[in-house]
Amino acid sequence: MTSSLDALIWVHASAVHGKGVFATRQLAAGERVIEYVGEVISMAQAIARHPHDPSNPDHTFYFHLDDGRVIDALHGGNDSKWINHSCRPNCVPDEDRGRIFILTRRLVFKGEELTFDYGLVSDEPVSEALKARYACRCGAKKCRGTMLAT
């Protein structure tokens, strides 16, 4: 399924988790790939909507903005919501005036899955149980084992 206007990406089954986003051509380092979009809501609204899926409460399509608001890609989002986490990502999110753009960190090859480090933050104390709830499956040589921020 192609989704981007210039067809830089497509969504496909991922070896990392569920669906993933893949490059349709070679992408240069620093290239803007896609904007992470969705309904921009307050943190209170995000908490009230949580969880998106009661059977998988730790999975959301939220992206936290520096000003405290949240992008909820479940509502009005695009294929950027399928970009998976990696401890050794090839992309990085870049916030520009309240908008999130996904940029390549390095040369990305045609067919390569796009990833960024989620760096999740929790209000709960970091424990082995919490790390396990947010287990990482990226497969990187230096995987930290969790999608939580270090």
The predicted-structure confidence for 11-54, as pLDDT tens digits, reads as follows: 999 999 999 999 999 999 999 999 999 999 999 999 999 888 88
Q: Which residues does 144 contact at the CB level (< 8 Å), separation at least 6?
A: 87, 136, 150
Share of the chain above pLDDT 70, in %: 96
pLDDT tens-digit readout, 77-136: 999 999 999 999 999 999 999 999 999 999 999 999 999 999 998 889 999 999 999 999
Q: Using DSSP bridges, classify how beta strands 113-116 and 84-85 pair: parallel, antiparallel or unpaired.
A: parallel
* DSSP class of 83: P
**What pLDDT is attached to residue 21?**
98
Q: Are 16 and 138 in contact (CB under 8 A)?
A: yes
Q: Using CB atoms within 10 Å of the CB of residue 109, give its burial: 0 to 12 exposed, 13 to 18 middle, 19+ buried.
A: exposed
Q: What burial letters (b/e) apply to 39-77, b meaning 16+ CB within 10 Å?
A: ebbeeeebeebeeeeeeeeeebbbbbeeeebbbbbeeeb
In tens, the pLDDT along 68-87 reads 999 999 999 999 999 999 99
Q: How far is it, in rounded angstroms, from Cα 6 to Cα 119?
A: 29
pLDDT at 3 over 90: no
| Helix and strand element counts for the chain (H, E) | 2, 10
- Which amino acid type is present at position 100? I
